[in-house]
């Protein structure tokens, strides 16, 4: 896999020719709406052909092979004119075959709403281990608000993907702290809730449960831990897995309603998997920032691996971006857009896409029809690769996408080039 960043004056044809690739394949795999129109700074994932390497002083064929994670034999096969590999000249151009060697096997979770386009779902399922269907909202009496999840469960199982039932403390106003307190402090409500969960798991053929309780009052931290113990003790003997979603903490004593009741060591000990919600540094009502800056994710992982077994950690990856109007006014709202929509917007506005090396995220600026300036932060193949590199660097069990509702072909090309996807069904 090669990630090519479009430069001024380049066309799809010239890029494909440079790598010895087929223009139609590049256009098809990247799902380019109009292959004749590219954006400066846009990424293209190249999965066939070769890249070019200019030999530097002191480099041997073995050093070059190691740099690109390919074998010497593959380099020689791609360079039939290289009759004496022991004698390389500085400045000599060598073809580097695109590597297909993978980092290993990884588990992948994808969150989906019940109203997902079924064609998008079917295209995505080959890249998933688990499908978390969002969500059953818990009522104060332990009952559950029904959702139309059966078509997604059936599609997931047909594709060998394990469907997970998601329960939340959501209400009409969002995640509800009072509702969480009612559930977590009343054993009768908890027993009713767990019985209802088990009934759904059985009747709908779910693989396991994903608990996403957020904005829990700090004083209910141990209540949440005890509830999780009760859930695990009831579900595990029945053969169901238990996953929890946790706020992106950087320390055990991090303050804030989002963080304090999420006890990393306890969840790490009890749950089969823990999803870290490593996104929303840039968010709808906040100032313009990358949604998931790599430097901030590192801080979360540095703490997480001290408290949770690495093989249980799923690092969250966002599948969206935001468009902010500038200058930012506190409380103003950013518009959500998909990663492909972001590139389309840059094309319409004739904006060059830039890349922030600190956050490892793409962005661009433009002016709207009212002459107001905007900044857009989103994800591209480079930022996805950077995040997936972290999964390997920290030896994590997997990653989790929020959400899979908007198809982002480059993400799956990069993921599939780097890892084999584990299946548990």
Residues 203 and 86 in one domain: no
Is pLDDT at 205 greater than 80 in this prediction?
Answer: yes
Least confident window among 8-12, 63-67, 393-397: 63-67
Confidence tier at 420 by pLDDT (50, 70, 90): very high
Question: Which pLDDT value is given to residue 83?
Answer: 83
Considering the domain architecture, whether residues 276 and 404 belong to the same structural domain is answered as yes
Res 207 pLDDT > 70: yes
CB count, 10 Å around CB of 215?
A: 18
Same domain as 202, residue 88: no
Question: Across all residues in the chain, what is the average pLDDT?
Answer: 96
Q: What is the pLDDT of residues 271-301, one digit of tens each?
A: 999 999 999 999 999 999 999 999 999 999 9
| Residues 281 and 176 grouped into a single domain | yes
Last residue of a domain, one of 51, 81, 97: 97
Q: Same domain, yes or no, for 49 and 187?
A: no
Residue 251 falls inside a structural domain: yes
Q: Which of 78, 97, 116 is the last residue of a domain?
A: 97
> Residue 338 falls within a domain, yes or no?
no
Torsion sign across C-alpha atoms 247, 209, 388, 2? negative
Residues contacting residue 223 through CB under 8 Å, at least 6 positions apart: 181, 184, 185
Q: What range defines the domain where residue 274 resides?
A: 105-319+381-421
pLDDT at residue 121 greater than cutoff 80: yes
SS3 for 189-256 is HHHHHHHHHHHHHHHHCCCEEEEECCCCCHHHHHHHHHHHHHHHHHHHHHCCEEEEEECCCCCCCCCC
Instruction: Write down the pLDDT at residue 71.
Output: 82
Q: Which residues are catalytic?
A: 214
Higher pLDDT, 77 or 162: 162
Query: Does residue 148 form part of some domain?
Result: yes
Confidence of residue 100 (pLDDT cuts 50, 70, 90): low
Query: Domain check: are 135 and 176 in the same one?
Result: yes
d(CA 79, CA 358): 36
In DSSP notation, 6-54 reads P-TT--HHHHHHHHT--HHHHHHHTT-S-TT---TT-EEEE-SSEEEEE
Any domain includes 334 = no
Give the residue ranges of DSSP H helices in 249-362.
264-270, 294-307, 339-348
Domain count, the chain: 2
pLDDT tens for residues 402-415?
Answer: 999 999 999 999 99
SS3 165: strand
Residues 234 and 112 in one domain: yes
Same domain? For 59 and 115 the reply is: no
Domain boundary (75, 97, 119) is at 97
If pLDDT is split at 50, 70 and 90, which confidence band does 80 have?
confident
- The pTM assigned to this predicted structure is 0.93
- Is the pLDDT reported for residue 352 higher than 70? yes
Answer yes or no: do 228 and 278 share one domain. Answer: yes
Q: What is the mean pLDDT of residues 310-329?
A: 98
Same domain for 293 and 166, yes or no, is yes
Average pLDDT for 5-15 = 97
Percentage with pLDDT > 90 across the chain: 89
| Residue 327, token pair as written in the block | 């200058």
The per-residue pLDDT for 175 is 98
Residues 67 and 136 in one domain: no
- Assess contact for 384 and 413: CB atoms under 8 A: no
CATH number at residue 16: 3.10.350.10
Q: Mean pLDDT, to the nearest integer, of 362-374?
A: 97
Domain assignment present for residue 357? The answer is no
- Per the domain annotation, does 309 fall within a domain? yes
User: In terms of C-beta distances under 8 Å and separation of at least 24 residues, what long-range contacts does 285-288 make, across chains too?
Assistant: 285/331, 285/332, 285/333, 285/334, 286/334, 287/324, 287/328, 287/330, 288/322, 288/324, 288/326, 288/328, 288/334, 288/375, 288/377
Tell me, yes or no, whether 26 and 84 share the same domain. Answer: yes
Give the CATH number, domain containing residue 211: 3.20.20.80
Is 302 inside any structural domain? Answer: yes
Residue 362 lies in a domain: no
């Amino acid at each position: 896999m090669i990630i090519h960043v479009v430069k001024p004056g380049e066309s799809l044809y010239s890029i494909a020719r440079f790598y010895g690739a087929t223009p139609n394949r590049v256009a098809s795999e990247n799902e380019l709406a109009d292959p004749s129109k590219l954006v400066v700074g846009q990424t293209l994932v190249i999965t066939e052909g070769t890249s070019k390497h200019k030999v530097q002083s002191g480099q041997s064929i073995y050093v070059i092979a190691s740099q690109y994670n390919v074998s010497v034999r593959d380099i020689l096969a791609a360079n039939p004119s290289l009759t004496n590999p022991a004698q390389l000249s500085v400045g000599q151009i060598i073809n580097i075959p695109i590597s297909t060697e993978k980092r290993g096997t990884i588990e992948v979770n994808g969150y989906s709403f019940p109203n997902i386009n079924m064609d998008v779902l079917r295209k995505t399922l080959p890249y998933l281990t688990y499908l978390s269907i969002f969500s059953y909202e818990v009522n104060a009496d332990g009952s559950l608000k029904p959702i139309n999840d059966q078509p997604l469960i059936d599609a997931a199982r047909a594709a060998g993907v394990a469907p997970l039932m998601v329960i939340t403390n959501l209400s009409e106003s969002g995640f509800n702290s009072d509702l969480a307190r009612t559930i977590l402090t009343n054993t009768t409500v908890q027993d009713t809730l767990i019985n209802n969960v088990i009934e759904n798991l059985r009747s709908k053929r779910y693989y396991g449960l994903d608990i996403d309780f957020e904005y829990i009052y700090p004083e209910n931290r141990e209540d949440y831990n005890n509830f999780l113990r009760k859930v695990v003790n009831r579900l595990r003997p029945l053969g169901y897995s238990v996953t929890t979603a946790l706020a992106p903490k950087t320390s055990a004593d991090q303050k804030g309603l989002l963080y304090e009741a999420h006890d990393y060591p306890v969840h790490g000990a009890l749950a089969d998997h823990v999803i870290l919600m490593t996104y929303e540094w840039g968010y709808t009502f906040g100032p313009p920032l990358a949604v998931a800056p790599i430097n901030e994710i590192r801080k979360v992982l540095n703490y997480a691996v001290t408290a949770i077994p690495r093989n249980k950690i799923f690092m969250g990856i966002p599948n969206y971006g935001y468009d902010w109007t500038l200058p930012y006014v506190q409380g103003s709202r950013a518009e959500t857009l998909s990663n492909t929509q972001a590139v389309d917007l840059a094309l319409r506005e004739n904006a060059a896409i830039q890349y922030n090396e600190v956050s490892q995220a793409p962005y661009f600026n433009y002016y709207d029809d009212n002459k107001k300036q905007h900044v857009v932060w989103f994800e591209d193949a480079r930022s996805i690769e950077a995040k997936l590199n972290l999964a390997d660097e920290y030896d994590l069990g997997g990653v989790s996408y929020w959400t899979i509702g908007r198809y982002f072909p480059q993400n799956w090309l990069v993921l599939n080039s780097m890892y084999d996807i584990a299946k548990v069904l």
